Structure 1
Amino acid sequence: MKLETIKIKNFRGYQSETIIPVSNLTAFIGKNDAGKSTILEALEIFFNNSLVSCEREDLNVNADNNQIEISCVFSGFPEDLIIDAANPTSLAAEYLLNSENRLEIKKVFPATAAKPKEKVYIICNHPTIENGNDLLTLKKTELKQRATQTLNIPSENFNGNVNSSIRLAIWNSFDNLELQETELLVDKEDTKKVFDTLKSYLPLYALFQSDRQSKDDDKEVTDPMKIAVQQALSELTAELEYIKEQVRNKAIDTANRTLEKLREMSPELANALIPEFKTEPKFDTQFKLTIKSEEDIPINKRGSGIRRLILLNFFRAEAERLRAQNQGNQIIFAFEEPETSQHPDHQEMLIEAFKELSNTGNSQIILTTHTPALAGLIPLNSLRFIQKNGNDRTVELGTEDVFIKVADTLGILADPISKNANAILLVEGKSDVAFVNHTATQLKSGGHITHTFEDKRIALVPIGGCGNLKHWTTLRLIEQFAIPYGVILDSDKGTNEEQANVNTIQELKDKGVKACLTLKREPENYIHLDVLNLPAGSTFTFTDTCDAKVLIAAQKISRKQNVLEDYWTLMTVDQIREVEKHNDNGVEKYEFTEMFTDLLSIV
């Protein structure tokens, strides 16, 4: 299941109900004490209530009652649920979805005790008509009585051994169920069974906090390893379910044989007894995984930077693994101030790993930051701006209207631009700077263009991709510099981003800006195979639209880390001319030669 929305009420600084949409990658931005970490910790309480647990002191000081409320809204819930003797039903059939056809679970913590005990509700568009509004709370005998005695429904209209069948027959007997939004308490009978079943589908939630003392079981290290165990178990669900079913069947068979013997001695007592499993086995508590240094020095005794480097590479490893597969439970990685104790280069690598993870299909990333450089690496539509509003908090989505607030709050500045620059060329990332500079140098040396961008004092500024916050920041600074600028973007050809990039470039052109898209997916797709040092007889190749950098990196042909910077800079002018050549309606053209000639004419 995928988390779509968080709702918080009466929790710490959030008094009125605050609705917070989340996406695959969500970054909460705001000043210190704005309430960023509160959201991450509210989710920890909702999913785990262990690393952070709900306490009486968490009640908002201005709350008009003593109820702390934390709700999560999900999509991607299972179509079928088995809650009754292997007979499937569904959330829709049981009227357990909200008005937007989403699964909404609310946890309420009455702040009357030091450690409040949760009450769980499913917020749903549920029948409210008399005799049809409480069916999920009734036992099987009570359901049968309701159907046959109260409502006079023929017994042949339902399967008397299956609760969901009886409920369906009852609901079908009404002309109007009078559906209304209902807070359905999950506390007994099939309401509890439904929630117990849903628990196994809920996302795994892992919170990494920035400001904690190191302990022997430091969660900065152990949590990723626990997640690794949970992931492994989630991928073995079918095998584990088979084992549980075999144990259940054999145990119940033994219990039934015992009752048969008891029935010979006391039929009345035997008929009143039913074998039932009370709890599910917790396999994840049976496996322990850790990482030790070769000198047997515990990881928690190393510096915080080292521990966070382990985290960094955990996320990078997950990104690489999940690119190739999409299975197991959804995972939500929540990271408080990932910039803590990290070199700026590592911060950038961490954000790149987050981006990759968020695009794998079964991972969501939620983080907080108040560091300008880090915020500038995150797509604008992933930002959530938080600020105090009297005694409450407001959360605004990352749009252009919110941009100025974010920039003013964090003091975001674009990359330094030389005061003597005659123009600016915006590129997607730092590796694109190396790509453009090397290409221009080689083409000039071969006599195919007359100048490099450096020759004409055209500053190359990485913006972090189309739609990035730094993109808009830089554009605003360009207007202040009052100098011309151009743009080169990856086309992302063959991906979902292709059309958006085409539209962005067209909008810039309509404003008179020189703007270009690569014909192939991205610069890595132009790398000449001869510079890859492939083994003899290798048949490795890639197309114009595949993820070339991933395919090249997967070859493990060297220890190089950045595909574009490390391989493109080995290209000769002849190799560049070979890969840039293309046919345009029967006319032979050279893409970068023509593109650069046009961009150089800015000055």
Structure 2
Amino acid sequence: MKLTKVIINNFRSFGEEQVIEFNNQTVLIGNNSSGKTTVLQALSKLFSDKQSDRIIRKSDFHLPKGSRPGENARNLFIETIFEFDIPDVPSYDPAIPLFFEHFTVSQDFVKPFLRIRLESSWEDDGTVEGSVDTQIYYISSDEDTIRDEDKHHAPRKDLDKIRVFYVPASRTPEKEIGNTSGSMLSRLVNSINWTEDEIHEITDKIEELNNTFLSETGALSQINQEIQKSWELYHEDNRFSQAELTINSSEMAAALRQIALKFSPTTTEEAFTVSDLGDGLRSIFYFSLVDSILDIELQITKDREENPDNPRFKLIPPVLTILAIEEPENHIAPHHIGKLVKRFNQLSNNDNSQVILTSHSPAIVKRIEPEDLRYLRIENSSGDSQTIISDIKLPKETQESYKYIKGAIQAYPELYFAKLVILGEGDSEELLLPKFFDLLGKEIDSSQISIVPLGGRHVNYFWKLLNALRIPHITLLDFDNERYGGGWGRIQYVIKQLIINGVAKERLVTVSTKTGEDRVLVDNEIDEIKDWKIDRPNEQWLKMLEKFNVFFSAPLDIDFLMLQHYKVHYLNTLSPKEGPIVSYTDSNGDGKKVKLTDLDYFDISQFEGLRNRIEEAKRATLKDKSGPGESFTFEEKELMIWYQYFFLGRGKPTTHMQFLSYISDDELRGNLPPVFKKMVKCAEKILGDVEDGKE
């Protein structure tokens, strides 16, 4: 039996009905105050073992736009759906007999399931809190519309068989290890079936200990006599006339309350208590304690099966414990987080437990399967702010890009917590774009911008992902003119993917005819865009795509773009012995070599060698299946020699880092590529720093 779905309506930050799908382990992610904790509290309203957590209050009702507190009646519901695996081989599942009469089967007869629904209404009756009426029902229908005859009262004794174990972000294990009412330990200790022999032996040992401390020759006995003497002077009633010091109560219950946990060895001679530990160790111990309780409950269940007439514990464990753990990363060193996540995953696969985590830490998210993530955000709809939940959509597993996309979003989990994501092609964008954004006054971290290098050929899937999560994004692609698939091919690719992602064709491929009329290209005409013979697409097409936050590093990629604008500064990073060599044959027929920076352009032999060197660099730069390079100027072709030297013969990040360490901010501003200015302006509009159409 596992929780598979929760439906929340009008509860706290949840307004309109939201459906949350759950796996064995599910992680709720999103920015602060997006509703993650609210989901855990919704489950606690039905299944917490603490009565105070189950009370529905006036503040639990979502207040829609236009409503005033205390003015309207309101309603909320929280519905949970549990599914049961019916094995081929009969095996004992304690949940089946408990809930069998309330099973519901869907029309497809896949699995039986259990629907439990909390309904609550609030009405202003003139009191401070108003009148709150709450009922919990079994629902005996699989229909969305629930009739009164489908509702059957769910007794608390039944609901207690399902437990939500809420572990807060601020963890205090000392409260749970003490044998006080309601603690984890007390539930176990107080349910032990002590034998008569054990009770007598423990009581005798306590009495013996008291007698030793209070012997007639001891100092404590003298103190006790003086207390009794003074008490007699003040108190004359026969009741309570004896006042005696005791070291331990002879009652077992009182003795058990003295149980404490000690840690040793320590850096001092005294053992440490839980409260002496640091925040991180206390947090880890809390998880360890929860783990141990679940293991003991499994053993108790097994013991009750084997010894139904004389179980060791009176406790009947829940058939399912949902561990609702808030921000497990708090105070934990990074190398422990992986171990925690692995253990949580193991617990989630046990028959008696399931795990729900909340987090806004990339350290957690990168260790979670994307299919187990649920993304929460606050959306302002008609002025009413409410939580919206989205799954993480991945390509089908059969598709070539599945593993790549899955790996990429695990490698860059920051994108889930960003106000704006910038998608780039690779390492160069990841290194350069933060510098230029900071330079133009849009500091990446303070603006909550994430730069995610994901590769141009898979960017369409990330558009789908980010559109589904409604996270704004800007894309910078390599234009790759005359490279295979580049140029017009790249424009066609972007247009087709924008159409797939919901952009109307009319906004993308409306062209003017010779008669001056506008018409929209049909599908086969869009397919032919890649074959258009115009050397370079005109600015009109690029500007059109910029309206959809798609920009290009033209004419090739961001590395070539940087060389175009900062060639001298890249050359300044070289030592006198570094740089590309041009081979040529002099007028005597002898083979010679000259550094490109020392080349004499008026020497016909050297210039001919340069032309040969350009052809070599052009083939290396444009790669296989490339065009002839006719769309490039001579200066751009010559620059390909430097491109080959810097970025094909050396590491791109290393080259760019050296360049950035040599150049000043003023020099960077002096020859700034226009595409970076456009991207920053676009980011400002998205983030609301400037109004559309204004500088």
TM-score (norm 1): 0.42
TM-score (norm 2): 0.37
